Structure 1
Amino acid sequence: MTGMREVYQEQLGDLAEELASMSTMVGTAMERATKALLEADLTLAEQVIEEDVHVDEARARAEEQAFGLLALQAPVAGDLRTVISTIHAAEDLERMGDLALHVAKAARRRHPQPVLPEPVQEYFAEMGRVAVDLCARAAAVIRSRDIDAARDLEAADDAVDDLHRHLFTVMMSSEWSHGVAAAVDVTLLGRFYERFADHAVAVGRRVVFTVTGSMPTS
Structure 2
Amino acid sequence: MRPRFTGRLTAGGVYSQVPFRSSIGGFGHLRAVADCGKFALMRTAYHQQLTELTAQLGEMCGLAGAAIQAATRALLDADIAAAEQVIRDHERIVTMRTQVDKAAFALLALQQPVAGELREIFSAIQIIGDVERMGALAVHVAEIARHQYPKHVIPGHLRECFTAMGALAIALGDSARQVLVSGDPLEAARLHEQDDAMDELYRQLLSGLIDGEWPHAVSDGVEAALLGRFYERFADHAVEIGRRVIFMSSGELPREDPISTF
TM-score, shorter chain, exceeding 0.5: yes
Q: Identify which of 81, 84, 106 aligns with 2:119.
A: 81
Unaligned runs of 5+ in 1: none
Q: Which residue of 2 aligns with 1:192?
A: 230
- TM norm structure 2: 0.81
Offset from partner CA, 1:55-98 (integer Å, 9 cap, x none): 11111111111001011101011111111111110001101111
2:26 corresponds to 1:11: no
| In 2: Cα distance, 1:202 partner to 1:151 partner | 10
SS at structure 2 position matched to 1:172: helix
Unaligned runs of 5+ in 2: 1-38, 257-262
Q: Which residue of 1 aligns with 2:35?
A: none
Q: Which residue of 2 aligns with 1:69?
A: 107
Aligned-pair identity in percent equals 45
Question: Between Structure 1 and Structure 2, which shows a larger proportion of helix residues?
Answer: 1
Q: Identify which of 173, 185, 202 aligns with 1:135.
A: 173
Moved beyond 4 Å, runs of 4+: none
SS at structure 2 position matched to 1:177: coil
Q: Which residue of 1 aligns with 2:89?
A: 51
Q: Which residue of 2 aligns with 1:204?
A: 242
| In 1: Cα distance, 2:210 partner to 2:109 partner | 54
Aligned residues, how many?
218
Greater C-alpha Rg:
2
Q: State the Cα distance separating 1:121 from its structure 2 match.
A: 1.1
Q: Which residue of 1 aligns with 2:191?
A: 153
**Please, what is the CA RMSD of the aligned residues?**
1.1
Q: Which residue of 1 aligns with 2:145?
A: 107
**One-letter amino acid matched to 2:71:** A
Higher relative contact order (CA 8 A, sep 6+): 1
Indicate conservation of the 8 Å contact 1:24/1:135, yes or no. Answer: yes
| In 1: Cα distance, 2:240 partner to 2:96 partner | 18
2:237 corresponds to 1:181: no
| In 2: Cα distance, 1:160 partner to 1:101 partner | 19
